Copies of this chain bind each other. A is one copy, B any other.
């Protein structure tokens, strides 16, 4: 736990920013600030208001600037933190050595749920950070790192996938495209649908309903795409 915390600090504080004060905060408060910030930064750096962030996080204005100094550093931290969290709690945990790609998808969905329980806005925040062009914070290239990690992940999953499981009539490549589309779309749509404020028990229940629906879809697709034996 302590070790974990330290390595996280090192990665995020690598160049310039000193986020030590913030990182040694108790988890609950830290989480509140992270969630509030990511939620507010969803529609761009410029449009985000630090007043909204402190209101949502239920802390004082001074404290936010005590931790981060400037709005830019706050955003920089959020990018780094989101990328680092994605890596540690999502990408690194995925077992790419699976023959059935539906198993891979199911697994990633579970991890996605767990991550969204902690930080409801990570995914949207990061996709927002990609498209943003009106500011020049590059957060030490963290976004590009994540992008290549993700590309690598997808490639590995597909490399390990057993294509002989597919029906003889259909092109596995085309099928995989469809499968990817369906689940990416589904996961995003449904996860975005849940009110991002909640992190309690009700949110968990909501996600689990979605996951059951997802499992159904998964089974149907298996029946459609795989040859029956």
Contacts of A228 in B (CB 8 A): 169
How many residues on chain A are close to B (CB under 8 Å)?
26
Whether the pair A184, B181 counts as a contact (CB closer than 8 A) is: no
A196 to chain B, nearest CB (A): 11
Q: Is the CB of A174 within 8 A of B217?
A: yes
* B224 and A167 form a contact (CB under 8 A): yes
Residues from chain B with a CB closer than 8 A to the CB of A59 are: none
- Protomer copies: 2
Contacts of A174 in B (CB 8 A): 216-217, 220
* A residues whose Cβ falls under 8 Å from a Cβ of B: 43-44, 47, 167, 169-171, 174-175, 177-178, 181-182, 184-186, 188-189, 216-217, 220-221, 223-225, 228
Q: Closest 7 interchain pairs by CB?
A: A185-B185, A43-B43, A174-B220, A182-B182, A224-B224, A181-B182, A181-B186
12 chain-A/chain-B pairs, Cβ below 8 angstroms: A43-B43, A43-B44, A47-B47, A174-B216, A175-B224, A177-B220, A178-B224, A181-B186, A184-B185, A184-B189, A185-B185, A185-B189
